[in-house]
Amino acid sequence: MKRFLWIFLAVSLFSLVWVGNVFAQKPTPSDDEVNAVASQMFCPVCENTPLDVCPTQACAQWRELIRTKLSEGWNADQIKQYFATQYGVRVLAEPPRQGLNWLVYIVPPFLIVIGVYILFRAFRSMHTVNQLAGGETEPNGPATDEYTSRIEEELKKRN
Amino acid sequence: MVEDFGYGVLILSFILAIYAIGSAVYGYVHRSQKWVESSRLAMQLTFPILTLSVISLIYLLVNDQYHVAFVYEVTSRSMPMYLKITSLWGGQSGSLVFWAWLMAAFSTAVSLRKWDRDREFLPWVVVVTSLTMAFFVGLVIFYENPFLQYWKSFSGDVISAMFQPAGSAFFAPTDGRGLNPLLRHPGMVIHPPMLYLGFVSFVIPFAFAIAALVTGRTDDRWIRITRRWTIIAWTFLSLGLVLGGRWAYDVLGWGGYWGWDPVEISAFMPWLTGTAFLHSVMIQEKRGMLKYWNMLLIILTYALVIFGTFLTRSGVLSSVHAFAQSAIGPAFFIFIGITFVTSVALLIYRWADLKAESQMTSMLSREALFLLNNLLFMSILVVCFWGVIFPLISELVTGQKITVGPPFYKNATGPLFAALVLLMGIAPLSAWGHSTLKTLGQAMWKPLIASLVVMVIIFFGFDIRQPYALIGFFVIFTSAFITIYEFWRAARARSRAQKENILLALWRLAGRNRRRYGGYIIHLAIVCMSLGIIGIEMFQTQTQGTIAQGQSLQLDGYTVTYKDLAVFDTNDNRNVARAVLTVSKNGQFLTELYPRRDYYYESQQPMTIPGVRSTMADDLYVILVDWQPILSSGATFKIYHNPLVNWLWLGSIILIFGSIVAGWPDKEVEIVPARVRRNQIAGSAVGQQVD
């Protein structure tokens, strides 16, 4: 009797899994869902061509692979990681933030900050020079834009 | 025979260029006008001589002389005549000949000017332009000869050589491989010449800058002489970039115009420094400041022109825009290194002579704002340069290939571009020398209110809530209204003073100060282009689906219905798959579209031609992605909805108009320095001056 109970439980469990399997399966991802992931990657063969628009047969197959992975429940990050492992990090639209790659993200802001600092120093020294000169702007007076001045004056006269 | 002649005159032009350099230096050192004059004549002669070489190559191209390797590679019998001619720049070696020929044309043009007051510049202008030309002609002669012929050895191998190798016979294929299909587009026919013209014409201001450094005549004379050349160079380069974008939009089939491809960026970098230079030279002209900076900017522009050409042609980068792998890389590298180091050394040598004549007096003065503009341009340059070269560095150091793609550039440059557009509106309002927040505010408050009103309409009327898009629109409209208001104020003042019709007043006003108003028109063009860029970058939507005949895809209110598909061969060796689609909106039929896929048998390359419905509001852009041989099984289409994108192309047309206005010769006497002229004007009556 006890043995039949175990068999009954096992059959019930199997039935549940079998019937519920349809709910666990995801619908086939649409082209748009596939492209949303593919657009974040580059073709591993044709350099500088995004994967979602690359017309080669190989890329069509890779897009189908993305569809399969999506239907298996993978998310975009996991798929990107999978492609990076398989074909190298060059498939990613941006270098991963690790090791030497950090330089991509650090160097430009660093240089821009230096540029801003130089400009700031130039403005500050200009301010100091003006103060030392007793606030005088220029030996010959302010070099205003003569053209603008004329227009402004004309406007004042006419208003 | 023609190929031998073409190659022979190429060598002659190389010798002439080398002679021009030698005699110019000799003439300068020994103060001999005869030698300098001789160098000028030699330089002038390179143009007709190189023209003969170009004509020879075109003759070979249009007459199907497939025994010449270059002709075989870029043409075929089925190609129309105009494409055979333009395939001159469709391959590496032909395009280098074309580059050198344009350089010769510009060198000759500049040598024909009156040199009476600037004779000391002449030898060094000859040296720089001839050196650049000799470099390119040398590349053609020693590395990329377009006149190489095919020979068949007795063992059956086909080899290419200029002269018949021993034990070989003449060999001529019956047909050529044909031009890369991607290059058979009107945009691509015009795009490379525009880009080359931009590159080449930037050599002229650089040549004068070097002449100024060598001779020690470091006042603003070199800038005044080259002002128009710089505007011409900038216009051509801008057009080249825009046409390249249009080509990508029409041919590459990814619904965009700019992919932040390294080769695109390499053409964009000299544009950035060139634009910064165009602005900062005004500071030197008006205030006698930033002399070193202007020198550095033009040196950088020249170096980036050569660097961009190097990246495209050396094979270090792979791109749809790049030519094949080539051995010319090291030669380019050495040339860039030598010219850059020499130029910077000269700059350092003259450092003391390049001191500013006046001080910056206000942080809100026009020169200060122009300096800020320069900082923004240079910041974008840093991002672009680093993004292009870092993958090379990474591969060199770690052996790992990486991609620095659009997300990096968009995130890094987006805020910088927004700041630039805003500054573009504000900077012209400030005065040279001194401005205050109050004066700027007085000039800005009306346009600012107008742009806020527009923002309210955009926010509530169009239901746009994306913060970055709203910031972008605010910046664009503020800049646009300020510029339009500037036009309006000046035209109204003149109209009242002279009792003229407002349009006539505007016309005459612009005629009296073409540079200023040309600049304003260019600013409006940039505003239009920015509108298009925001439209496509922030509001582009897309969908893709496989549908059977009679079925539809929906996107942003549009319904695209698949009606038919035909597959057929054409006379020019193409297999064409062409779909017929109808487009409707809210149940109303709008148009039919015909996206197609052309397959070129000769080159075995496909080409995607989108079907596009264009209005100023948006583009509906449809690509035929795939199809089944049995029509009823359906076809796959990708549809892009690109709002406002046509403002980008409209802006580029306005930009040409603005550049023509800005570059048109003024009647003003150029020799009077601005500061002297200012004093003269200050003493005159306002009424007379406005008139």
pLDDT digits (tens, 9 = 90+) for A87-140: 888 899 888 888 888 999 999 999 999 999 988 887 777 666 666 655 444 434
Nearest CA in chain B to A42: B403
Tell whether B563 is within 8 A of chain A (Cβ).
no
**CA distance readout (Å), B421 to A43, A150, B83, B304, B525:** 34, 27, 39, 24, 11
Contact assignment for B318 to A48 by CB distance below 8 Å: yes
**Nearest-CA neighbor of B315 among B303, B306, B327?**
B327
What percent of chain B shows pLDDT beyond 70? 94
What pLDDT, on a 0 to 100 scale, did the predictor assign at position A114?
A: 93
Are A49 and A90 in the same domain?
yes
Q: Which class for B337: exposed (0-12), middle (13-18), buried (19 or more C-beta within 10 A)?
A: exposed
Nearest to A143 among B252, B516, B678 (CB): B678
A–B CB contacts, 8 A cutoff, strictly below? 171
What pLDDT, on a 0 to 100 scale, did the predictor assign at position B359?
A: 75
Top-confidence residue, B52 or B605: B52
Whole-number Å distance between alpha carbons of B124 and B204? 11
Whole-number Å distance between alpha carbons of B135 and B24? 17
Nearest to B262 among A48, A88, A94 (CB): A48
Distance from CA of A24 to the nearest CA of B (A): 25
Task: Please give the residue range of the domain that contains residue A128.
Answer: 100-158
Are A86 and A126 in the same domain?
no
Residue A57: phi and psi, rounded to 5, are -65, -40
Residue B82: phi and psi, rounded to 5, are -65, -35
- Per-residue pLDDT tens over the stretch A42-60: 887 776 788 888 878 888 8
Contact assignment for A145 to B366 by CB distance below 8 Å: yes
Are A32 and A90 in the same domain?
yes
Domain-ending residue, one of A94, A109, A126: A94
**DSSP 8-state class, residue B349:** H
Q: Which class for A100: exposed (0-12), middle (13-18), buried (19 or more C-beta within 10 A)?
A: middle
Contact assignment for B433 to A142 by CB distance below 8 Å: yes
Which residues neighbour A97 within 8 Å (Cβ) at sequence distance 6 or greater? A105
Contact assignment for B690 to A90 by CB distance below 8 Å: no
Tell me whether residue A9 is in a domain: no
Which residues of B fall within a CB distance of 8 Å from A31? 543-546, 636, 638
**Nearest-CA neighbor of A126 among A114, A115, A137?**
A137
Which residues of B fall within a CB distance of 8 Å from A145? 366, 431-433
Whole-number Å distance between alpha carbons of B527 and B478? 10
Contact assignment for A150 to B397 by CB distance below 8 Å: no
Tell whether B419 is within 8 A of chain A (Cβ).
no
Nearest CA in chain B to A107: B386
Average pLDDT score over residue span B296-312? 91
**Nearest-CA neighbor of B250 among B528, B621, B556?**
B621
CB B68 within 8 A of CB B59: no
Nearest CA in chain A to B623: A53
Domain containing A45 — which CATH number? 1.10.8.640
Contact assignment for B434 to A142 by CB distance below 8 Å: yes
Q: Is domain B1-179 in CATH 1.20.120, yes or no?
A: yes
Which residues neighbour B588 within 8 Å (Cβ) at sequence distance 6 or greater? none
Nearest CA in chain B to A118: B375
Greatest alpha-carbon pair distance for chain B in Å reads 89
Are A116 and A61 in the same domain?
no
Q: Would you place residue B157 in the very low, low, confident or very high pLDDT band (cuts 50, 70, 90)?
A: confident
User: What sign for the dihedral angle of Cα B47, B53, B56, B57?
Assistant: negative
Which residues of B fall within a CB distance of 8 Å from A50? 254, 259, 405
CB B152 within 8 A of CB B164: no
Parts of chain B belonging to CATH 1.20.120: 1-179
Which residues of A fall within a CB distance of 8 Å from B433? 137-138, 142-145
Overall domain count for chain A: 2
Which residues of A fall within a CB distance of 8 Å from B361? 126, 130, 137-138, 142
Q: What is the CA radius of gyration of chain B?
A: 28
Whole-number Å distance between alpha carbons of B96 and B146? 9
ipTM field: 0.79
Residue with tokens 């304003």: B520
Distance from CA of B409 to the nearest CA of A (A): 10
Which residues of A fall within a CB distance of 8 Å from B404? 94-95, 104
What is the model's pTM? 0.86
Contact assignment for A48 to B359 by CB distance below 8 Å: no
**Hey, which bits of B242-298 come out as E strands?**
none
What pLDDT, on a 0 to 100 scale, did the predictor assign at position A128?
A: 65
Which residues of A fall within a CB distance of 8 Å from B682? 146
CB atoms within 10 A of CB A11: 10
In the predicted structure, residue B601 carries a pLDDT above the cut 90? no
Q: Would you place residue B589 in the very low, low, confident or very high pLDDT band (cuts 50, 70, 90)?
A: very high
In the predicted structure, residue B168 carries a pLDDT above the cut 90? no
Are A72 and A125 in the same domain?
no
What pLDDT, on a 0 to 100 scale, did the predictor assign at position B297?
A: 95
Are A89 and A124 in the same domain?
no
Which residues of B fall within a CB distance of 8 Å from A30? 544-545
Contact assignment for B253 to A130 by CB distance below 8 Å: no
3-state secondary structure of B14: helix
CB atoms within 10 A of CB B12: 17
What does the H/E/C string look like for B396-456?
HHHCCCCCCCHHHHHHHHHHHHHHHHHHHHHHHHCCCCCCCHHHHHHHHHHHHHHHHHHHH
What pLDDT, on a 0 to 100 scale, did the predictor assign at position A20?
A: 58
What percent of chain B shows pLDDT beyond 90? 48
Whole-number Å distance between alpha carbons of B492 and B509? 10
Which residues of B fall within a CB distance of 8 Å from A122? 360, 371
Domain-ending residue, one of A94, A123, A148: A94
**Nearest-CA neighbor of B537 among B265, B258, B246, B249?**
B258
Are A37 and A81 in the same domain?
yes
Top-confidence residue, B359 or B244: B244
- Per-residue pLDDT tens over the stretch B89-112: 888 889 899 999 999 999 999 988
Top-confidence residue, B444 or B207: B207
- The mean pLDDT of chain B is 87
Which residues of A fall within a CB distance of 8 Å from B544? 30-32, 35
Q: Would you place residue B308 in the very low, low, confident or very high pLDDT band (cuts 50, 70, 90)?
A: confident
The pair of structure tokens assigned to B40 is 């000028």
Which residues neighbour B154 within 8 Å (Cβ) at sequence distance 6 or greater? B167, B168, B169
- Identify from B403, B409, B668, B678 which residue to disrupt to test chain A contact, counting A C-beta atoms within 10 A and taking the largest count: B403
Whole-number Å distance between alpha carbons of B14 and B35? 18
Top-confidence residue, B136 or B432: B136
Q: What is the CA radius of gyration of chain A?
A: 34
Query: Could you tell me how far CA B264 lies from the centroid of its own chain?
Result: 9
Are A90 and A109 in the same domain?
no
The pair of structure tokens assigned to B114 is 């009156």
Contact assignment for A100 to B394 by CB distance below 8 Å: yes
Query: Chain B, 284-313: which have a CB under 8 Å from a chain A CB?
Result: 286-287
The pair of structure tokens assigned to B652 is 């580029």
Size of chain B, expressed as the number of residues it contains: 691
In the predicted structure, residue B391 carries a pLDDT above the cut 70? yes
The pair of structure tokens assigned to A82 is 């999978």
What pLDDT, on a 0 to 100 scale, did the predictor assign at position B685?
A: 33
Whole-number Å distance between alpha carbons of A93 and B10? 44
Are A86 and A137 in the same domain?
no
Tell whether B610 is within 8 A of chain A (Cβ).
no
- Identify from A151, A153, A156 which residue to disrupt to test chain B contact, counting B C-beta atoms within 10 A and taking the largest count: A151
Are A105 and A83 in the same domain?
no
CB B620 within 8 A of CB B507: no
Nearest to B361 among A130, A146, A147 (CB): A130
Domain-ending residue, one of A47, A71, A94: A94
Judged by average pLDDT, the poorest of B122-131, B356-365, B400-409 is B356-365
What pLDDT, on a 0 to 100 scale, did the predictor assign at position B374?
A: 93
CB B520 within 8 A of CB B657: no
| Per-range mean pLDDT, top range of B163-177, B214-228, B297-311 | B297-311
Query: Chain B, 239-268: which have a CB under 8 Å from a chain A CB?
Result: 252-255, 259, 261-262
**DSSP 8-state class, residue B260:** -
